[in-house]
């Protein structure tokens, strides 16, 4: 059975705060993103555990066939139900009923920051990466999987969306990054984040706003709030409308 853990040489905790099990036809795609930066450090520290499973290991023929032509005709191929269902049930075992099972799909519920927070409270998440024309509809029905979409566009497969979900969710798990780093960022309260500046004070004719140099924290807070509202109104007015509807 081809299962990868990242990083490959460490596992400091037998009980991480959150374990991800990713089911894919292309496990090699995950080597880089999961072996660098914050995600690597979180795995080094045993806070999260990410396992990559090759769906083809659960196929039954010598050609390791995981897809077939769609019933009813049409272009492309569809991922078969048996290898995916058996892979998830085999890997999750007794956790099958308690785990949060997700199928990455262009037709799923939109994956947002609030959904990422929901998922970060789980102890185990299974991510199924779709491919080709999609996944046999019996997969989410049998596994009671939730379908999630990372945006209103179509990708070649669910691997990149799975990486996005792992990254967005993992950084919200306590201990992965500082709590303060997630407190005032975009989408946290339905607004985009305010502009950020660092040294030097002036660069190519652009100067850091004086209020940020004043040392007056109350005024800084007011400025940042105003800037967040202004940027949201300019770039994402839909967020303001949605935020208003939620407070009515």
Residue numbers in the chain where pLDDT is lower than 50: 7-13, 247-248
Please tell me the predicted confidence (pLDDT) of residue 11.
Answer: 42
Fold classified for 184-247: 1.10.1270
- The candidate with the shortest Cα–Cα distance to 24, out of 148, 128, 178, 152, is 128
Please tell me the predicted confidence (pLDDT) of residue 224.
Answer: 95
**pLDDT for 150-175, tens place per residue?**
999 999 999 999 999 999 999 999 99
- The candidate with the shortest Cα–Cα distance to 150, out of 136, 165, 140, is 165
Please tell me the predicted confidence (pLDDT) of residue 8.
Answer: 42
Please tell me the predicted confidence (pLDDT) of residue 98.
Answer: 87
Please tell me the predicted confidence (pLDDT) of residue 246.
Answer: 59
Class of domain 3-170: alpha beta
For 92, the token pair is 């999750």
DSSP-derived secondary structure for 127-184: EEE-BTT-B-THHHHHHTPEEEESSSS--SBSHHHHHHHHHHHHTTSTTSS-GGGGTS
φ, ψ at 212 (rounded to 5°): -75, -15
Residue 96 in 3-state DSSP?
coil
**pLDDT for 42-73, tens place per residue?**
999 999 999 999 999 999 999 999 999 999 99
What are the residue boundaries of the structural domains of the chain, listed by start? 3-170, 184-247
Please tell me the predicted confidence (pLDDT) of residue 12.
Answer: 46
> Distance between CA 190 and CA 180 in Å, rounded?
17
For 185, the token pair is 């960022």
Contact 91, 21 (CB under 8 A): yes
* Residue 116 CA neighbour count, 13 Å, CB half: 20
């Amino acid at each position: 059975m081809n299962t990868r853990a990242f990083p490959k040489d460490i596992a400091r905790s037998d009980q991480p705060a959150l374990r991800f099990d990713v089911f894919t036809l292309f496990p090699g795609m995950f080597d880089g993103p999961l072996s660098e930066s914050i995600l690597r450090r979180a795995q080094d520290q045993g806070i999260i555990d990410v396992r990559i499973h090759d769906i083809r290991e659960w196929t039954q023929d010598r050609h390791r066939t995981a897809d077939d032509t769609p019933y009813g005709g049409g272009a492309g191929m569809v991922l078969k139900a048996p290898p995916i269902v058996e892979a998830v049930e085999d890997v999750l075992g007794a956790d099958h009923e308690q785990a949060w099972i997700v199928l990455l799909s262009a037709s799923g519920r939109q994956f947002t920051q609030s959904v990422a927070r929901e998922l970060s409270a789980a102890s185990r998440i299974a991510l199924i990466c779709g491919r080709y024309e999609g996944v046999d509809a019996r997969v989410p029905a049998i596994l009671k999987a939730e379908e999630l979409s990372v945006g209103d566009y179509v990708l070649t497969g669910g691997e990149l969306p799975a990486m996005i979900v792992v990254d967005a969710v993992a950084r919200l798990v306590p201990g992965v990054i500082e709590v303060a780093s997630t407190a005032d960022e975009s989408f946290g309260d339905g607004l985009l984040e305010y502009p950020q500046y660092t040294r030097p004070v002036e660069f190519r004719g652009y100067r850091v706003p004086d209020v940020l140099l004043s040392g007056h924290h109350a005024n800084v807070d007011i400025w940042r709030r105003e800037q967040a509202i202004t940027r949201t109104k300019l770039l994402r007015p839909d967020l303001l409308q949605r935020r208003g509807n939620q407070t009515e």
